[in-house]
Amino acid sequence: MKLTRLQPATMIRHFFTGIGLMISLFISVPNCFPQVATTAVPFLLITPSTESNAMGEASVANFTDNPLAPINNPAHLGMLSQSQYVTVGYDRCGSWLPDLNLSDKITFTTFAINGGINLKKLNEDAPPLSVGIGYSRIYLDLGKFARTTVSPDITEYVNTWESSDQVTVGTCLDYGIKIAAGLTYKHVTSHLYGGMTNAVEDAKANLLDYGFLADVPVLDLLSRSTDISFQIAPQFMPFLNWRTGIAWNNEGQESMMYIDQGQGDPLPRNASVGIGLDMGIAYTKDALSWQPVSLKLTRESSEVLVGSSRQYKSGLGDIKFFDEVFLGNTNPKTDKKTGWEFNLGEIVFFRGGRFEEDPMNGNRHFHTSGLGIRSAGFVKLLQILDVPLSREGLSGYLLHHVDITYNYSEWIADEPGHPLSHTTFNAVNIAVFN
């Protein structure tokens, strides 16, 4: 691949075209004109969580204890801190766009570690407040590119990669209804051109994410405010929770410089808003709470807030919250994401979803599926069956306070041979509970 002095946007297109359809797959900038604007560091638009990738990439309102969830919506960290001391997660896509059959594979990995504390569990007189802080890192390895001179001889190979280091803080108030908010600072580095003459060695950006999340336990609130009992059997109660989430990602700095310090490419500011339902049966006995069966449903609309004139849109851009998120109607200017999760015994989680995009703004259409397995649900089942489990010593603490989760997801595009098809993600998460 020959590297020459080109304008920034041209250089981006040159690199991504060389690895096949990268612009159309990473970037979906809806606007009212029949063209797609480009942005710098489009890898920030890839959903980093295997769990979310199994559910159509819907994540902003999908209340979950996944440690990577705060990367999409920082408010998730406030919710996580309600019940967890420490969470660690590692996600990996070992071959991004595998159907391109590249000799040098593109890999996408994410790591996160979060710590949180629930003040109410430390002191009954404390306010019902939880706070958390976390660090995460996203790394996209684009492989090596051959660098030549005027002649076709290769002078060297250039390693190309992009990364984002994030620090997140989140908080949550629980007065029956849980309200959470979060903020993320991220430092982004794009290493595309190596030591080219007059090129910026590493293009960099400092950005902010912020989000909100609400969790409303509908049946629980009705039971408290009325004389209605929803109990269906001793220790068994149905539950129905309503969730709403909103997030703005990659705010702050407006452009990133690659070659000419006087020119820059816009950064992929993104807005997402969604709703979710969580329903099922809960079993409660003494301090044990267990969900033998449950179903999650979530729907989300998102938009990259860069217009055709490379000017940023304000607020939610062209997202029509009620029409798209509540009614499920499509909007050619936004991405539509839907997902579901079926839980069996808090041991096995089956997931699926759908991602849809307008033909003039990326034209990505794919189904998603996935599976999750958790150790904590198995331990709870043994407790319910009265299997004696020691709480003494380190082994007892690990058994009752540590949860290990494995998640898997896969994408299948509607179009045969599409580079997104058969993209798979794997993740291992570890949580230490209060």
CB-CB contact of 361 with 30 (8 Å): yes
Rounded to the nearest 10°, the torsion over CA 382, 387, 390, 391 is 50
37: pLDDT strictly greater than 70: no
**What pLDDT band is residue 360 in, cutting at 50, 70 and 90?**
confident
List, for residues 197-237, the tens digit of each pLDDT value. Answer: 445 578 899 999 999 999 999 999 998 888 888 888 889 99
The residues with which 339 forms a beta bridge, in sequence order, are 298, 353
Quick one: how far is CA 300 from the chain centroid? Answer: 12
Sheet strands (E) in 176-314 = 177-191, 203-217, 236-252, 255-256, 265-266, 270-285, 288-304
Q: What is the CA radius of gyration of the chain?
A: 23
DSSP 245-269: EEEEEEEE--EE-SS-TT--EEP--
Q: How confident is the model at residue 366 (pLDDT cuts 50, 70, 90)?
A: very high
Write down the pTM of the prediction.
0.86
The pair of three-digit structure tokens given for residue 259, joined into one six-digit string: 């070659």
Rounded Cα–Cα distance for residues 184 and 164 (Å): 11
Q: How far apart are CA 88 and CA 250, in angstroms?
A: 23
Confidence of residue 398 (pLDDT cuts 50, 70, 90): confident
Predicted local confidence at residue 324, as pLDDT: 94
Residue 124, token pair as written in the block: 């009954």
Question: How far is it, in rounded angstroms, from Cα 256 to Cα 186?
Answer: 14
pLDDT at 103 over 70: no
Distances (CA, A) of 388 to 136, 284, 385, 396: 38, 18, 9, 11
CA 180 → CA 84, 130, 308, 325, 404, distances in Å?
A: 15, 9, 34, 20, 25
Q: What percent of the chain has pLDDT over 70?
A: 86
CA 242 to chain CA mean position, Å: 20
Give Cα separations from 392 to 381, 395, 398, 414 (angstroms): 19, 7, 10, 53
Q: Using the 8-state DSSP alphabet, how is residue 331 labeled?
A: -
Cα–Cα distance between 379 and 384 in angstroms, integer? 9
Least confident span in 7-11, 115-119, 358-362, 368-372: 7-11
Residue 23 has pLDDT above 70, yes or no: no
Q: What is the DSSP code (8-state) at residue 70?
A: H
Extents of the domains making up the chain: 8-433
Residue 386 has phi, psi (to 5 degrees) of: 60, 30
What is the average per-residue pLDDT within 371-380?
A: 94
Q: What are the two backbone dihedrals, phi and then psi, of residue 255, each rounded to the nearest 5 degrees? A: -150, 165
**428 φ, ψ (degrees, to nearest 5):** -125, 130
The torsion angle over the Cα atoms of residues 340, 130, 288 and 382, rounded to 10 degrees, is 60
CA distance 204 to 252: 13
Question: How many angstroms separate the CA atoms of 217 and 232, rounded?
Answer: 17
pLDDT digits (tens, 9 = 90+) for 329-338: 989 999 999 9
Contact predicate 83/64, CB 8 Å: no
- The Cβ of residue 225 has, within 10 Å, a number of other Cβ atoms equal to 9
**C-beta of residue 434 within 8 angstroms of C-beta of residue 121:** yes
**Residues found in the chain:** 434
pLDDT value, residue 344 = 97
Determine which helix (DSSP H) or strand (DSSP E) holds 26, and give its type and residue range: helix 22-26
Pairing of the two strands 84-93 and 365-374: unpaired
Q: Is 140 helix (H, G, I), strand (E, B) or coil?
A: strand
